[in-house]
Structure 1
């Protein structure tokens, strides 16, 4: 299992008229968490794209427990629990301090520029083998 923590300051544009984070605003936070987790493991998303790989979201599920509010500083905890293959599943928890606000997961598939499924690049496969055995 590998894990990453990213802090995000809630911006006004991410909220509704009540100052509550709009439900769709969490998806970019998950993207930040995902790319940060990969970068911390030496896998730079920009490099994957330059080599012709894409990782589109093929599944997303979110459960909202408590609202985040304007000007909160939240922590997105991103977890990769098991060694990925052709697909990669990431889990997310969003906290305000110790309070759990949101749980979610996304699943991604490796594709090429034409949208065809492909095997992950060697740099990704090798690094996952190092991390998960």
Structure 2
């Protein structure tokens, strides 16, 4: 499967009193990784939103393995875990600078019309995205 690896700058304001990245920030890092993944395929959310389509999260999971601390290097690996033309599940692995897993997780998304929040098929509305997602999901990288 196609995977991207995106560097994350651990900012002081993202940490708690223990100097550990506050857990909610990992969802933001997932989004950074997801955006980089989509851009690596040649697309971006802005173009989708210009067409009146948005992609809300309908499910999210995070599993904490070890903390990331201020001053450490961090990277988020992102890939497509599941894709069926309507729903996309992205997988994530946040690693420290030595490649140790700190957090793993996934987010599931659908695309919907912005005004009504009615689901639409990526396959029909954005056939180029559908093809790129299908290829990325099946690739052997």
TM interval, short-chain normalised: over 0.9
The 5 Å alignment of 1:1-133 reads 1-96=1-96, 97-114=98-115, 115-120=117-122, 121-131=126-136, 132=138
C-alpha deviations, 1:99-125, integer Å up to 9, x for none? 110110000011011211111122212
Alignment partners' CA distance in 2, 1:74 and 1:125:
30
C-alpha deviations, 1:35-87, integer Å up to 9, x for none? 10011001111111111111110000000010000121101000114444100
* TM-score with structure 1 setting the length: 0.93
SS across alignment from 1:60? strand
Q: How many residues of Structure 1 are paired with residues of Structure 2 in the alignment?
A: 133
Higher alpha-carbon deviation: 78-87 or 6-15: 78-87
Structure 1 ranges of 4+ moved more than 2 A: 81-84, 126-133
Note the residue ranges of structure 2 that are not aligned, 5 or more in a row.
none
* TM-score with structure 2 setting the length: 0.88
Note the residue ranges of structure 1 that are not aligned, 5 or more in a row.
none
Q: Please tell me whether the aligned partners of residues 83 and 89 of structure 2 are also in contact (alpha carbons under 8 angstroms).
A: no
Q: Please tell me whether the aligned partners of residues 56 and 110 of structure 2 are also in contact (alpha carbons under 8 angstroms).
A: yes
